[in-house]
Structure formats: C-alpha cells, structure tokens
Structure 1
Amino acid sequence: MALPKRRHSHSRTRLRRSHDALIKPGVGLCPECGEPKMRHQLCGGCGMYKGRNVIQFEEDIN
C-alpha cells in the first residue's frame, strides 16, 4: 500500500477539502398551497406535483 513520503502542507490539504462542504437542499414553495417542499418532490400538504393531484388525503372528522 502506498504511503506518502512527505507531509502535505495546510494549503494543499485545504484545497482538497474545499469540495467537501455540505450544501443546503433546494427548498421551494408549493404553488397550490404555499407550503415549503423539496424541489422535484410531491407536496406533503396538498398532494400535488407539477399541477396535478397525485394523492388524495382523507380529512379527519372529529
């Protein structure tokens, strides 16, 4: 197994790690109900995706 002969400098290590940062997920608003939702995902509030109703939610009667 290969081992480094010399130690890597701080700047070289940080250059390599510059791509390791976490990015926030893309969150948008549902055009139907205005609830925040993940992009390219079904809305959890109203069940709509791309302007069409995908899931029908049952209303709780109490």
Structure 2
Amino acid sequence: MPNPKRRHSKSRRDKRRTHYKAVAPTVASCAHCGSMKLNHTACPSCGYYNGRKMVEMNSGASAE
C-alpha cells in the first residue's frame, strides 16, 4: 500500500479538524412547569409535551 512521502504540517492537520467540534444541545423551558428540557421531547419533571400529558410521572417513588 502507498505511504505518504512527506509529513503533513500541524496547520494542515488543524485545518482538516475545524469541523470536529462538540455541539451543545438546544434546551428550552417547559411551558407547563418552567423547568429546562430538551427541544421536541416531553418534560422530564412534569411529563407534558405540546400542552398535553404524555408521560405519567411518579410522585417521588424510587424504581426498585
């Protein structure tokens, strides 16, 4: 198999890696309870999505 004849410089390596970046998730406040939640998902604290109850939430009971 062919091997590279010359070493790529740090500048050339870094230019290739410019698009390798972490993207922060988009969050919004829940319209029902006001806590922060991911967009397009049901609220983890109250279970509402788009004004309707989607997930039934337990009142402090641990899952055992």
The bucket for the TM-score relative to the shorter chain is: 0.7 to 0.9
Alignment of 1:1-62 (within 5 A): 1-59=1-59
The aligned length equals 60
| C-alpha distance in 1 between matches for 2:2 and 2:51 | 55
TM-score between the two structures when normalised by the length of structure 1:
0.79
Equivalent position amino acid for 2:3 in 1: L
TM-score between the two structures when normalised by the length of structure 2:
0.77
Where in structure 1 do 4 or more consecutive aligned residues deviate above 4 Å? none
Q: Which runs of 5 or more structure 1 residues have no equivalent in the other structure?
A: none
Q: CA offset at residue 58 of structure 1? A: 3.8
- RMSD over aligned Cα, in angstroms? 1.5
Paired-residue identity, %: 42
